[in-house]
Structures are given as structure tokens and as C-alpha cells.
Amino acid sequence: MYLRSGGAARLRVAQLLAVLDAPTSLWILARILDADRSAVRALIGELTANKLVAYSQFRQHDIRDAVLRETPIALRRRLHQRCAEVLYECSAPAAQVADHLIGGAEVRVPWAVPVLRNAARHALADDDTSSAIEYLELACRVADNDADRGIMLVHLAVIRWRLSPSTSTRSFARLVTMVHSGAMPAAGLAMTTRYLLYSGRAEDATRAVRLLDDAAATAEPTAAANRAVLRQWLRCFYPGLATGAAADPEIRTGSPDHDRMLRRCGWYESDTAAMGLLSDVFAHGACDHAIARSQRLLRAHRLDDSTVCALLTALDVLVYADRLESAASWCDALMLEANARQAPAWQAIFGIWRSAMYLRAGAVEDAIGHAVTALSRVRGDSLGTYGGLAVACLVESATAAGRLREAATYLETEVPETVSLSRVGLHHLHARGRFRLAVGDHDGARADFLACGERMREWHMDIPGLVAWRNDLAEVQLAAGDLPGARRWAAEHLSWIRSAAKHSSGGVSLRLIAATSAPAQRVALLRKSVHIAASGAQLLETATALADLADAYHLIGERDRGRTAARRALRLAEQCGAEPLRRRLAGPRTTNLHPVSATETPREALSPSELKVARLAAEGCRNREIARELHITTSTVEQHLTRVYRKLGVTRRAGLAAALVDEPDTRQTEAV
């Protein structure tokens, strides 16, 4: 009532103060109102004297709200538009100008889009994602440039993905539409490709890559530079899409204009630096230079949308360079930062990475726990390729823990097509091979590990820190009873890494070679294997090597040392949750090593998997019952029985019981 009684001038000032809602200097108020400064000063003085305002701002929110309600919408919008114009001319903070642009409802002025994008960038730096999304949404609506609009749509999709990964959002739909229509500008195609691949959309991503190739073919500078960096990124992360592509010229950096162009395309200095380090590791293996620079990169960059990929890449460099403890420490710090920033997707991704590190260390229960927690934050199918890594961790961890039914259930989880095109696909393939090996499907496991090795060689990333597939093949051959084959693959792995001590996987090779060696040679090999595994903080591998060492001591009659090694192995097995190994160590004293004999009895010729099948068949179990009991297919059961009949010299099940009678083993001799 008081405001209306003072005439139009007082009401207009009050409406402006309600719209501004911030302490504002007198000359700016006068400029916005196109009024005389002294008149505005007098009106502000009256409002201040009546204790309605202080420092040009309403003292009580309910009074301000009442003024806004009484102000017509059209007038409010005009006031916001005028505030935005004057504040921009006065170099006010971008967020302050952007808030009035939003209130002004699609103000179409040349400077609006840059201001809104700048405000969004500052909002993201302060973790105000809702404001950033609001600014970019308006920028997309008022932009008259398709290139700018396309890039902002990608930014919007990425920000929304950080909060709630999904391919069903409006931003994602608009992005895909622009790709299919060919409207996405060259500058936005690399970011679009990355986002589509993360989201599991291989076909749409392939289309985006083709569009960028077409643009680069026209000698358009932005497209050519963008494609060069994207090609390197694909070779590092999705080599299945980069296979067969011609190599691009070496990426140039250092020129301010060139770096600015790359930033506009979504590439930052941290991206190119991290990709270079990972490429070095793939080309030359672990080196101190790459390790030191990765740690510097992790120290130098705060977690945000522009650095998250580079930080994950730096973690990969440390893991593949066999610096697992350092990688785990950095990952823990980044997980805490993601939690503090309340970014569910980042929390899930770093949780999955941590699960993979726990798995490498042999802490299988911790690996399962972190993967399950990550997937409880965000649905696995919403995480796209990252979800495939979570599934791989769960399958391999559950297998190592002896929870085979659980592992089989995880293995049935459908993963997006992009997984097989990525490095994550190697881990998924490896996990399936480990499961098949555990259930006695030697042919299936062998096929998975061979396929893994073939892809790694084809993709030029055949390093032991990624997947030590030769050791896995040696383990398959050992389980199948092919001792020469096991020794050959393990020796090939040692030859590949040049020295057992150069990488923790060398200790695994020594353990596998020991299993094919004469008893007198096993102890020295296994002691070195234990030392390498323990030095690398590999809990499960240390426990396994100790268990084999205990068996080796018993074979040569050093029972006290054998019992000591077995006790250490049991403690570690319990610590990391490896139930099969714990059962082996807690049960009656039997050797798990493959004896090398000059003349084996038929029963001794059976592999452990064949012996399990034979015993169940001798007890009268049918093939389907055996398959269910051992978690293998009936076809695998039939293959095992065929070999059992041949080795035992029987023609039907009735003869199995007699052929499996235990005989004392008195014919141990040294291997040739």
C-alpha cells in the first residue's frame, strides 16, 4: 500500500529492487531506469528510512516476493532484460548477468551465448550443476549458430550424465538426432563420439566418426585437428573402432590458437598428456618417465568434467605399469572428491576402478563390495562401457571367491556392444575365461584367452599389465594335464617380459613352471614366486604360491617348512576371501601340484577336472547331474568322459569305480 501511494516512480524503483535482489550501486540503478541519479537517490532514501530496504536490497524476503507477485510478468521480463544489458556493459560477473538473461526469457543479443556459457563454466566449478544446466539450456535456445548449439548440447548431455547417467534424457535424444541428421558441427563430433561410446551406443558413435572423417577430408582445419586427437583417443580406449584407420599426423600442441581450437572441440591439455602417457606404456611397457608424469598429472588437476577422463587414464598408466598401491591411493582420494562433489556417475566410475584394483591385488571380497556399491549408485546399464568393467570385476571376483553360481549370474548380464570394442572388453573376456577355467570348461577358457591375446596384439597393447593372457593359457594347459604346453606358455610370458622380477605377473609364470618341474626344482622357483607376489602386494597370488610351496616342501620331505608355508597361505586366503584356496589349505594334507612321472598310472593321467567328472560318474550321476554339480555344460561333461574312458581303458561307466581305486604313488621321478 505504501509503495503504491508514493506514485509510479517509487513503485518502479521497488519493482527494480525486487528483480535485482542484490546490493547495487546508485548509478547502475539510475542507468537501468534511465532516470536522474538524484531522483533515484531520493527514492532509495525514502525506502531505506521506512526500513524496507538496506543497501538497495529488500530487507525481508516476503516483502520482495509480494512486490514480484504484483509486478506483471511482461514488465518483470523487460526489467530482467534491461538489468542484463546494463550489468553486461558494466562488466558484472557472468552469473549475475546470466540470471537476468534467464529472467528475461530468451534475450537474443550477440553476447548472450558467451555470457551464458561462461556462467555455466563457473557454476560447474562451484558444483552448482542445476544452474549450469539452466544456463546452457537457455544458450541452446537463443543460439543462432548450429556449431555453438551442437557443442552446448554435448556439454549439457555430459553434465546430466554426471548426475544421472541415462540414454533416455532429452539432451541425449537431441544429440542423437543431430548426429543422424548430419547437423552436428565438426567441432562437436569428437565429444559426441566419446559420450556415445561411454553410453554404449556403438552404431551412433560410428556414424559420428564417419561424419568427422568426411569433414576432415574437406581440409577443414578444426575437423582435421579434432580427428587427429580422436583417433589417438580411440586407439587408447576403443581400439576396435580405430582398427584399420590410417594414422593421423602427430598431434601438435603449444600453439595458443591450436590449443584453443582443441579446447573448443572438447579436448584439454590434460587429455592429450594422459593419452600420450598411456600410448607410451602400450608401446614400451612400464617406464619411470610415464609413472612420474602420471603422478604429476594426478597432483596437478582437480576433478571436474574436463579432467575426469585424463585422471582415469593416469590411474590406468599406474596400474598397467605395476604401481598398484600408488594407483589405489590416488583412486581413494578421487573417490572422496567425487563423494564430496555429489556426482553419482563419478562415484560409481571410481568405485568400479577401485574394484578392479582390489581384484588385481587379490582382495576379492573388497572387489565385489566396491563393484556392488558402485552399481547401487547408478544402474549398470546406464553406465554403458563402465558397466561392462563392473560386470567383469564381479565375474572374476566371485569366481576367485568360489561363488560360481553367483559368477554365472553376473556373466549373464547383458553388456553394450561398445564393451567388445574397448579395453574393457579385454577384462570382460578375461573374466569369462577365468570362470570357464574354474568350472572345468578348458576349451572355452582357452578360446577366451587366445581371443584376448589376439586382440591385444592387433590393437598394439600387448603388455602384461593389461592382461597376462599367456599365463592364463599356461594355467588352462596345466588344468587339462598338458604339462609341456603349460610350461611353454609360461616360459613365453617370461620371455615377453624379459625377467620374472620386472612385473608381478612374472611370479605367476614361475609358479606355473614350478608345477611342471621336478620336485627338487620346485622349491627355488616357488620361493622366488612368493617373493615377487608379496613385493607387489598381490594377496591371492602370494597365498597361491605359498600353498604350492607348502606342497613342494612336503614332496621333498621338509614337512615343518611345508606346514609353516601352509599356515601363511591359509591366513592370506582367509584375508582375501578366496574360499577354494582356503578349503584346499584347511582340508587334509594333499598335494595340488602336478607330479611329473616317468610312468604314470592311468588314474594319474587324469586332469583334476576329468577326475571330478569321473568320480561323479562312478557314483552313478547322470551327465546332466554332473554338469549341474560342477557348473559346466553337458557337452563339457561328455568331452571329459570321452578322455577319461580312453585314459583309464574302460568302455562304460560300470568300469570307472574299479579304475579309480587309489594306488600308492611310488614312481615320482624328475622331469626331463
CA distances from 451 to 234, 433, 467 (A): 20, 10, 12
Least confident piece of the model among 303-312, 314-323, 636-645: 636-645
C-beta separation of 567 from 603 below 8 A: no
Residues 562, 518, single domain; the answer is: yes
At residue 230, does pLDDT exceed 50?
yes
Q: Let me know if residue 502 belongs to a domain.
A: yes
Question: How far apart, in whole angstroms, are the C-alpha atoms of residue 394 and residue 383?
Answer: 15
* Residue 492: pLDDT band with limits 50, 70, 90: very high
At residue 668, does pLDDT exceed 80?
no
Q: Let me know if residue 55 belongs to a domain.
A: no
Residues 448, 551, single domain; the answer is: no
The whole-number pLDDT of residue 5 equals 64
Q: Let me know if residue 258 belongs to a domain.
A: no
Q: Let me know if residue 370 belongs to a domain.
A: yes
> CA angle at residue 334 from 328 to 338, to 5 degrees?
140
Sign of the Cα pseudo-torsion (597, 601, 604, 610, in order): positive
Q: Let me know if residue 574 belongs to a domain.
A: yes
Residues 432, 369, single domain; the answer is: yes
The mean pLDDT value for 320-347 works out to 93
Question: How far apart, in whole angstroms, are the C-alpha atoms of residue 587 and residue 577?
Answer: 16
Residues 634, 525, single domain; the answer is: no
Question: How far apart, in whole angstroms, are the C-alpha atoms of residue 62 and residue 68?
Answer: 10
Nearest to 615 by CA among 647, 658, 649: 658
Q: Let me know if residue 372 belongs to a domain.
A: yes
Beta bridge partners of 53: 58
420-458: pLDDT as tens digits: 999 999 999 999 999 999 999 999 999 999 999 999 999
Sign of the Cα pseudo-torsion (375, 379, 381, 385, in order): negative
Q: Which helix (H) or strand (E) holds 54?
A: strand 53-54
C-beta separation of 236 from 279 below 8 A: yes
Residues 650, 590, single domain; the answer is: no
Domain span at residue 617 reads 603-659
Q: Let me know if residue 638 belongs to a domain.
A: yes
Question: How far apart, in whole angstroms, are the C-alpha atoms of residue 197 and residue 237?
Answer: 10
Residues 445, 497, single domain; the answer is: no
DSSP state of 250: P
More confident residue, 597 or 127: 127
The mean pLDDT value for 240-269 works out to 64
Write down which residue in 569, 596, 623 finishes a domain. 596
Q: How many CA atoms lie within 13 A of 83 on its CB side?
A: 31
* Residue 50: pLDDT band with limits 50, 70, 90: confident
Share of the chain above pLDDT 70, in %: 91
571-581: pLDDT as tens digits: 999 999 999 99
Q: What DSSP assignment string belongs to 525-592?
A: HHHHHHHHHHHTT-HHHHHHHHHHHHHHHHHTT-HHHHHHHHHHHHHHHHHHT-HHHHHHHHSS----
The whole-number pLDDT of residue 221 equals 74
Q: What's the CATH number where 631 sits?
A: 1.10.10.10
Q: Let me know if residue 42 belongs to a domain.
A: no
C-beta separation of 156 from 116 below 8 A: no
187-227: pLDDT as tens digits: 888 889 998 998 888 999 999 999 998 888 886 777 888 88
Least confident piece of the model among 262-266, 370-374, 621-625: 262-266
Please state at what angle helix 608-618 crosses helix 623-630, rounded to 10 degrees. 130
Residue 176, amino acid: V
Residues 367, 481, single domain; the answer is: no
Residues 472, 589, single domain; the answer is: yes
Most confident of 159-173, 219-233, 309-323: 309-323
Residues 370, 450, single domain; the answer is: yes
Question: How far apart, in whole angstroms, are the C-alpha atoms of residue 375 and residue 274?
Answer: 27
Residue 385, amino acid: T
Q: What's the CATH number where 570 sits?
A: 1.25.40.10
C-beta separation of 208 from 191 below 8 A: no
Residues in CB range of 477: below 8 A, 6 or more apart: 483, 485, 486, 488, 489
Write down which residue in 458, 486, 502 finishes a domain. 458
Burial of 414 (0-12, 13-18, 19+ CB in 10 A): exposed
* Residue 604: pLDDT band with limits 50, 70, 90: low
The mean pLDDT value for 137-150 works out to 86
* Residue 326: pLDDT band with limits 50, 70, 90: very high
Write down which residue in 596, 620, 638 finishes a domain. 596
Number of domains in the chain: 3
Please state at what angle helix 385-400 crosses helix 423-438, rounded to 10 degrees. 20
At residue 285, does pLDDT exceed 70?
yes
